């Protein structure tokens, strides 16, 4: 959900503004301040969510990329000679 799409709060805000219009009252300063404060808080929240999501995505992508680029099955197995133990001691 992108910023400003929180429909419930937004609807309430718009309904309140429309209600002032229907009662033929000027839009009060307090309402404008309230709208801006509310919008600013939502903006900050959206920013934090996106940052967190971005960090999560980064971890996911790096992990997935590492997993998909890992060598497949037997590619990296050391060559054994007579028996496994012999190969290990040979390497050491």
Partner 1 sequence: MKFVSSSLVGDDQRHKISENFIASQRDARFRPFYFGAILFTVLVAGGALFVDYMIVTEFWTRALANEFLELPGSLASSVAFKSLQVLFATLAAHIFIEHMGVFGRAVFVRVLFLLALTMLGGVGLLLALMSLPAGLADAGLGGNGASLGTALSSLGIETEAAREAAVAQTGLDEARAYQPVLWMASLGVIFLVVTGVAALFLHYALINLKKLFETRDFAERKADMSRLAALEAEYARNREMLIDMERMDHRRNMLWTRLMDSCRAYERGLEGTRTSYLTGRKVRALPAPGRKRQERAAAEERSGQLKACADSQQIARYEALFEDWWSRRQRMSVNDGGPREAVGEVLPPVNTGRRVPTNKAAE
Q: How far is the CB of 32 from partner 1 (least distance, A)?
A: 5
Applying CB under 8 A, among 9, 37, 45, 89 the residue interacting with partner 1 is 37
9 touching partner 1, by CB under 8 A = no
3-class state of residue 2 by DSSP: coil
23 touching partner 1, by CB under 8 A = yes
Q: Which residues, in sequence order, are CB contacts of 8 under 8 Å at separation 6+? A: none
67 touching partner 1, by CB under 8 A = yes
DSSP secondary-structure letter at 92?
Answer: -
Say how many Å lie between the first and final Cα of the chain, rounded.
57
Q: How many CB atoms lie within 10 A of CB 82?
A: 8
Q: How many CB atoms lie within 10 A of CB 13?
A: 16
Contact footprint for partner 1 (CB under 8 A): 2-4, 13-15, 17-27, 29, 31-33, 35-37, 39-40, 43-44, 46-47, 50-51, 53-55, 57-58, 60-62, 64-70, 72-73, 79-84, 86-87
């Amino acid at each position: 959900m992108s910023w400003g799409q929180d429909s419930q709060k937004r609807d309430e805000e718009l309904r309140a503004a429309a209600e002032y219009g229907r009662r033929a009252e000027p839009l009060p300063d307090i309402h404008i301040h309230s709208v801006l404060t509310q919008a600013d808080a939502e903006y900050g929240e959206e920013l934090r969510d996106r940052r967190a999501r971005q960090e999560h995505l980064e971890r996911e992508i790096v992990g997935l990329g590492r997993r998909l680029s890992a060598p497949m099955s037997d590619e990296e197995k050391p060559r054994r000679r007579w028996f496994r133990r012999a190969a290990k001691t040979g390497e050491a």
